[in-house]
Amino acid sequence: MARPRIKDVARHAGVSEKTVSNVINDYVHVSERTRRVVREAIDHLGYRVNLAGRHLRKGRTGIIALVVPELDVPYFAELARHVIREAERLSLTVLIHQSGADREHELAALAGFGSDFVDGIILSPLALTADDVSDRAGAPPTVLLGELLEEGADHVAIDNEKAAREATEHLIGLGRRNILAVGGVEAPGLGTAEARTRGYLAALAQAGIPHRPEALLPVGDFRMPDGARAVAGVLRAGERPDALLCLNDQLALGALRTLYESGLRVPEDVAVIGFDDVEGGRFSVPTLSTVAPDKAAVARVAVELLHRRIEEAAQGPEASGAGSGGVQSPQDRVVSHRLVLRESTEGPGGG
Amino acid sequence: MARPRIKDVARHAGVSEKTVSNVINDYVHVSERTRRVVREAIDHLGYRVNLAGRHLRKGRTGIIALVVPELDVPYFAELARHVIREAERLSLTVLIHQSGADREHELAALAGFGSDFVDGIILSPLALTADDVSDRAGAPPTVLLGELLEEGADHVAIDNEKAAREATEHLIGLGRRNILAVGGVEAPGLGTAEARTRGYLAALAQAGIPHRPEALLPVGDFRMPDGARAVAGVLRAGERPDALLCLNDQLALGALRTLYESGLRVPEDVAVIGFDDVEGGRFSVPTLSTVAPDKAAVARVAVELLHRRIEEAAQGPEASGAGSGGVQSPQDRVVSHRLVLRESTEGPGGG
């Protein structure tokens, strides 16, 4: 079959070519239903927008940067794959920068690497403050991933507090009472770990389970060795948990190894649930229950929002006023998540 | 302590400042021993080269691109971390591009993304041919990772054939005879899988074990689901291997899960060894024996070689002639690897 064209998408979706074009250009006055039908047709036919010429005409490079703290935390690598796929539909090339959760690196990225070769930035910040983000005149359009740093920035995240509450409720529903939060931090902070800890505490309070501060296990980093070490530490101290809420899957996979070495059975002695739904948790022994964020949706919403901001920036402020259906005001987008229950909480029949 | 300066490095290493500068600028006439002493002093003191101004004076951006097939294969994400660390010492910023093992993407990367914002490229090719690499006048300096595509390109790799032979000899040494190669491909090809398969076949031949073509298990991709599926397939077909040589750790981790589900004990019934030494194999149940490439060395050699090529390109051809100690001729660098033996071949005492 020849490379599909816009008219093929229109025919397949049963809409006009103009409507297809509106969806591709992400105009707000297209209904959600039409948007979905057209997107399905685009996916089905493998249609690819050819914007290469357009980028250059408008003085752009067609390159966006994705800035994440650590690529060897699989969540970010998996998210990157989705961002690349979504960007490709708009003929945008994604270059990825690892910030190492270092503020200087994040600031350099926010400033577009001191160059003008990126049209826009998707940034998952760990060390930036709200002031860093607001104080950036002349920088490329930016969409933030994760917990909201400040009201004035576009951002995309799951409801981390709600997700952690649901995961904890699942453990409580299994009859567990001594539930440790691996990576938990009791603080008024704005980060993802703080939001997840709030959800954990809310679920305990709701069930009338008293919270002990030592049930929050601090970690240096959110990786397998940290999870393994944190759990080894409490077991050595004589703590006998019956469940672990791990704030990401890497911590949980490390914890599973320590529990195995300690002769504790999962989930019979200790039930374990993580966050992120990374591939490793689908193949671990036992397989890992987890909170699965809709990574494809995080990527799609972030790329579409950034693309719109880039268009707005090119058209100037008058084109995107409140009256014209534009999206000038900062967007706070929440995407869905779900609990995925596997052997580490449900036992051999549960995976 | 104040930020260390070049004179602090010189004092700590017991050499002159000029020698430190020579090491930093990677002049070839520094002895390997001096180079090592100076590098250790640089590491110890946390010295950072300040080249930012230099980049701009020379009309460069200080940005290099690392192009890998798939970031969510942990080997590449771990390698990226090392490349970023090495590049940082030279004040180079690394941007990462995922090619998806797609030839068009790899070609676009080779051409510097049609822009002049990258000073050089480190590329791990999967789909390119030798012609693609040689036919690139005007493109930025490039260093290839992995098996050699053609004589005329700089490249860095481990000795994949030797490494696979050693891993297979380890399995034979355990008394195993029915050793399957998961991901193996018997072909005259140039790729990494081909080189590893040659090593596997050489070890079998050396031990007088007849090779059966069906002992090579093809995979669609080098990921956990592919390893799990390939092994499930042969078990279903009644094959009863006593060992698996998996051509990367992701395949091996998938295979471990299938063996667990099949009630086969590792290593008692089936010994398993992988390639890459990714973090997941240090925490899996059982832990995974593997071939560990010296990833830090791959990254260091690649970044240093690329840095030198960028300098040469800036200075023009006369500065790097054969008589001046330059490195104009293409470099074919082999870095070391070692076998890391853990529970999946050695049993509970072996990790």
Note whether B246 and B311 are same-domain residues.
no
In this prediction, residues A297-320 reach a mean pLDDT of: 82
Highest mean pLDDT among A3-17, A143-157, B49-63, B176-190: B176-190
Note whether B289 and B299 are same-domain residues.
no
pLDDT of A246 above 90: yes
Three-class DSSP category at A261: helix
CA distance A313 to chain B (A): 22
Q: What angle do CA A204, A210, A214 make, to 5 degrees?
A: 95
> Which residues in chain B have their CB less than 8 angstroms from residue A84's CB?
98, 100
Measure the CA–CA gap between A35 and A15, rounded to whole angstroms: 10
pLDDT of B153 above 70: yes
Q: In this structure, is residue A239 part of a structural domain?
A: yes
pLDDT of A316 above 70: no
Which of A48, A50, A68, A72 to mutate to probe the B interface, most B CBs <10 Å? Answer: A72
Note whether B204 and B82 are same-domain residues.
no
Helices (H), chain A: 6-13, 17-24, 32-45, 52-57, 74-89, 103-110, 130-134, 160-173, 192-206, 224-236, 249-261, 280-283, 295-315, 343-346
Q: How many CB pairs under 8 A join A and B?
A: 111
CA distance A116 to chain B (A): 9
pLDDT of B119 above 80: yes
pLDDT of A1 above 70: no
Q: What is the structure's pLDDT at A23? A: 77
B197 forms beta bridges with none
Distances (CA, A) of B130 to B101, B190, B290: 15, 10, 30
Highest mean pLDDT among B17-26, B45-54, B80-89: B80-89
**ipTM for this model:** 0.81
Note whether A114 and A201 are same-domain residues.
no
Note whether B176 and B200 are same-domain residues.
yes
Residue B347 banded pLDDT, cuts 50, 70, 90: very high
Q: What is the structure's pLDDT at A3? A: 64
Note whether A310 and A331 are same-domain residues.
yes
> Which residues in chain B have their CB less than 8 angstroms from residue A115's CB?
61, 63, 117
Note whether B286 and B302 are same-domain residues.
no
Residue B105 banded pLDDT, cuts 50, 70, 90: confident
A280 CB within 8 Å of a chain B CB: yes
pLDDT of B114 above 80: no
A147 CB within 8 Å of a chain B CB: no
CATH of the domain at B164: 3.40.50.2300
Residue B321 banded pLDDT, cuts 50, 70, 90: very low
Q: Report percent pLDDT > 90 for chain B.
A: 53
Q: What is the structure's pLDDT at B54? A: 45
B340 forms beta bridges with B290
A273 forms beta bridges with A245, A289
Note whether A251 and A305 are same-domain residues.
no
Q: In which domain, by residue range, is A130 found?
A: 54-157+294-336
pLDDT of A290 above 90: yes
Helix (H) or strand (E) holding B217: strand B216-217
Task: Please provide the average confidence, as pLDDT, over all residues in chain A.
Answer: 86
Q: In this structure, is residue A319 part of a structural domain?
A: yes
pLDDT of B186 above 50: yes
Residue B34 banded pLDDT, cuts 50, 70, 90: confident
pLDDT of B319 above 50: no
Residue B159 banded pLDDT, cuts 50, 70, 90: very high
Q: How far is CA A95 from the centre of its chain?
A: 18
Measure the CA–CA gap between B171 and A112, rounded to whole angstroms: 51
pLDDT of B30 above 80: no
Q: What is the structure's pLDDT at A149? A: 65
Give residue-wise pLDDT tens across range A131-186: 676 666 667 888 999 876 666 788 899 999 999 999 999 999 999 999 999 999 98
CB contact under 8 A, A80 and B72: yes
B96 CB within 8 Å of a chain A CB: yes
Three-class DSSP category at A219: coil
Position with higher pLDDT, A33 vs B218: B218
Q: In this structure, is residue A86 part of a structural domain?
A: yes
